[in-house]
Amino acid sequence: MLLKILLPAEVLIVQEVNKIVAEAENGSFCLMPNHIDFVATLSPGLFTYESTAGGQELYAMDVGTLVKKGAEVLVSTRNAVRAPDLGQVKQVVMQQYDRLDEREKMVRSASAKLEASMIRRIVDLK
């Protein structure tokens, strides 16, 4: 199967895989190459796949949608982060949230400065 994981700003993965395990709203499921076409709403949780070269990859994934059609599996999600192993998933996710939180603070600060500047200019026009 050809797995593609799509984030809002990038294509995270395009890889041939033998097996996919993901979490949906009604529990986890496994996809194999001969599985029928399938659509699922993904819940935040673990997403794993086994590559055709061997070895298993582990991701912590946000909500999303998975569509399997023929030999192609498309996953669209807001955020996904690779974890080296199951024991480090929580640490990797926390680091990602810290980065996102820092970006949010910077955006809010820039937005407040723009707002204050616009108000000053409006006052100056009167």
Q: Does residue 9 register a pLDDT over 80? A: yes
Q: pLDDT grade, residue 91 (50/70/90)? A: low
pLDDT at 21 over 70: yes
Mean pLDDT of the chain: 84
Q: Which residue has the higher pLDDT, 52 or 117?
A: 52
DSSP 86-102: GGGHHHHHHHHHHHHHH
Tokens 């529990």 belong to residue? 27
pLDDT tens readout for residues 94-115: 666 666 666 667 777 778 778 8
The number of angstroms, rounded, from the C-alpha of 113 to the middle of its chain's C-alpha atoms is 31
DSSP 21: E
Q: Are 88 and 95 a contacting pair, CB within 8 Å? A: no
Which residues are 77's β-sheet partners?
Answer: 64
Encode pLDDT of 27-82 as tens digits.
Answer: 999 999 999 999 999 988 889 899 988 888 888 888 899 999 999 999 999 888 88
